[in-house]
Amino acid sequence: MNVAFFLIPKQEVAYLDDHFTMRQAIEKMEYHRYSAIPILTKNGKYVGTLTEGDLLWKLKHTPDLDLDKTEEILLKDVPLQRDVKPISVRTDIEGIYNLAIDQNFIPVVDDSETFIGIIRRRELIEYMFKKING
- Helix boundaries (H) for the chain: 22-32, 52-60, 97-102, 121-132
Q: State the angle between helix axes of 52-60 and 22-32 in degrees (0 to 180), rounded to the nearest 10.
A: 140
CB atoms within 10 A of CB 129: 9
Give the number of domains in the chain.
1
Q: What DSSP state is assigned to residue 113?
A: S
Residue 25 sits in a domain whose CATH number is 3.10.580.10
Range of the domain at 17: 3-132
Query: Taking a C-beta distance cutoff of 8 angstroms, is the pair 114, 44 a contact?
Result: yes
- Global confidence as pTM: 0.90
Convert the pLDDT of each residue in 75-134 to its tens digit: 999 999 999 999 998 888 777 888 888 888 999 999 999 999 999 988 888 888 888 887
Q: What is the DSSP code (8-state) at residue 25? A: H
